[in-house]
């Protein structure tokens, strides 16, 4: 009889211990749930709202949104320099095409290759090779070959340096987000990006630019840029297709 009473007491004590432990398990589960929610929220912190680039803060990619041109330009420059290198193809509707490689190491350098000539640009100088050797630009020279090289360097410093694209972006007062669309060139490093457009007419001095289009990723890297330039009676549409960012590139050293 005494053993039976002791058994009942032990059973009652075990039930009480089990009840005391149950609330602790619920508290542990609730903490895990909160951690999971926090982790999920954290994955969206850099989705088109500034990312790791302070200059991109406030830029939102959403159909119908408007983006200030100068803000977009600063953002694009910061994003591209962070990649340290890239490649793009420059084309126009006259049939001209060239491939451009560029890098910051730490100073900027660029090489351009077309069927007719090659160009190497550095921060404050440049060279042209038309098949007979490298000729360095010199604005003070009167030699025909050097004058030609200088003119080409000045021209392609504008059309090939990716930072000048950012200058164009900043010249436009306001860009409008159309939506996520396929990039016009299959050679672009992404198939789909955010399409931005502007109807603004911008006088850049040498030419007047219209019909602006720009495709940009959620990481603020350019995929495709196009605009129409008019100078006098001559009109040409030029495009830049970015085929890679952050990869290895080789810049010839003409020096």
Residue % of the chain over a pLDDT of 70:
79
The dotted CATH code for 54-245 is 2.50.20
Taking only the tens place, the pLDDT of each residue in 168-184 is: 999 999 999 999 999 99
Segments in the chain forming alpha helices (H)? 2-42, 69-83, 144-160, 162-171
Segments in 43-184 forming alpha helices (H)? 69-83, 144-160, 162-171
Q: In the prediction, which pLDDT does 240 show?
A: 94
Q: In the prediction, which pLDDT does 64 show?
A: 98
pTM of the model as a whole: 0.76
Q: In the prediction, which pLDDT does 206 show?
A: 82
**Cα 24 to Cα 36: distance, rounded to the nearest angstrom:** 19
pLDDT interval class at 159 (50, 70, 90): low
Angle at 254 between CA 88 and CA 94, to 5 degrees: 40
Domain spans in the chain, listed from the N-terminal domain onward: 1-43, 54-245
**Mean of the per-residue pLDDT values for the chain?**
83
Taking only the tens place, the pLDDT of each residue in 187-222 is: 999 999 999 999 999 998 889 999 999 999 999 999
**Cα 169 to Cα 56: distance, rounded to the nearest angstrom:** 14
**Cα 187 to Cα 12: distance, rounded to the nearest angstrom:** 76
Cβ distance 67 to 177 under 8 Å? yes
Half-sphere exposure of 42 (CA within 13 A, CB side): 6
Cβ distance 192 to 183 under 8 Å? yes
């Amino acid at each position: 009889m005494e053993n039976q009473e002791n058994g009942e007491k032990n059973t009652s004590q075990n039930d009480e211990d089990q009840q005391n432990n149950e609330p602790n398990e619920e508290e542990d589960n609730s903490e895990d749930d909160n951690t999971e929610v926090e982790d999920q929220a954290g994955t969206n912190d850099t989705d088109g709202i500034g990312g790791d680039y302070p200059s991109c803060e406030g830029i939102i990619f959403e159909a119908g949104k408007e983006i200030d041109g100068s803000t977009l330009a600063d953002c694009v420059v910061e994003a591209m320099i962070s990649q340290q290198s890239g490649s793009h193809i420059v084309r126009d509707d006259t049939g001209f095409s060239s491939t451009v490689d560029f890098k910051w190491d730490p100073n900027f350098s660029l090489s351009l290759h077309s069927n007719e000539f090659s160009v190497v640009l550095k921060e404050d100088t440049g060279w042209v090779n038309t098949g007979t050797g490298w000729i360095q630009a010199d604005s003070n020279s009167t030699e025909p070959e050097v004058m030609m090289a200088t003119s080409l360097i000045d021209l392609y410093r504008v059309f090939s340096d990716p930072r000048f694209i950012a200058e164009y972006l900043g010249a436009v007062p306001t860009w409008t987000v159309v939506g996520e669309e396929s990039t016009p060139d299959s050679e672009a490093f992404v198939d789909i990006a955010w399409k931005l457009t502007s109807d603004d007419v911008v006088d850049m001095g040498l030419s007047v630019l219209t019909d602006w289009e720009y495709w940009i990723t959620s990481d603020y890297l350019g995929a495709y840029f196009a605009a129409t330039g008019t100078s006098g009676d001559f009109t040409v549409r030029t495009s830049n297709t970015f085929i890679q960012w952050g990869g290895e590139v080789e810049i010839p050293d003409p020096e």
